[in-house]
Amino acid sequence: MTDPRWRELSPADPVMVRAARAHLTGEFSRGVDRLMWETHERPLGDVQSVRAVIQAASGGGAVDVTGLGAALLLIRAIRLDVDRLEWELLESARAAGLGWESIAAVMDLSGAAEAQERHRWLDSRRAEPAAPAERLDLSAPDGVPRAERMRLP
């Protein structure tokens, strides 16, 4: 099942993923997204952030090396999220009575054995550390949230 021409990327360190989200949201959020970042510390979605970097780079905009690296790091987080999502969907399909042969056919796999092998591999990915895309804790050491520090008196 595994193509020897490429190797599966290891999951990114959750701390680094959170830092990448913060960096890219600070660089690319606009409008409501900027407001959500400034008031609730809610980052852009990972796919949205990566698309923003690609759009800026392909449009001749200046994208710093840190932004490009952050986007590449988020690709690893996105891939892990998709693998977990696929595992959950396979579990749902099996619970609904779909057989491995049917699953293999839909996924264009060679047969039930390959579908089961993929399911086992996806199951192993569930144990990898992840950084859920949720509100980031960007409090200063004194515990004051960033949005509070930014408010005018």
pLDDT in tens, 55-96: 999 987 778 899 999 999 999 999 999 999 999 999 999 999
Measured distance CA(85)–CA(37) in Å, rounded: 26
Report CA 104 to chain centroid distance, whole Å: 26
Phi-psi label, residue 112: left if phi above 0, alpha if psi -120 to 50, beta otherwise: alpha
Q: What is the pLDDT of residues 90-125, one digit of tens each?
A: 999 999 999 999 999 999 999 999 999 999 999 999
pLDDT of the residue at 152 = 41
pLDDT of the residue at 142 = 52
Report domain extents, the chain: 14-150
CB-based contacts of 120: which residues, under 8 Å, 6+ apart? none
pLDDT of the residue at 143 = 53
Give DSSP secondary structure letters for 19-82.
HHHHHHHHHH--HHHHHHHHHH--PPPHHHHHHHHHHHHHTT----HHHHHHHHHHHHHHHHHH
Burial 9-24 (b: 16+ CB within 10 A, else e): eebbeeebbbbbbbbb
**Contact call for residues 56 and 63 (beta carbons, < 8 A):** yes
pLDDT of the residue at 150 = 44
**Contact call for residues 150 and 38 (beta carbons, < 8 A):** yes
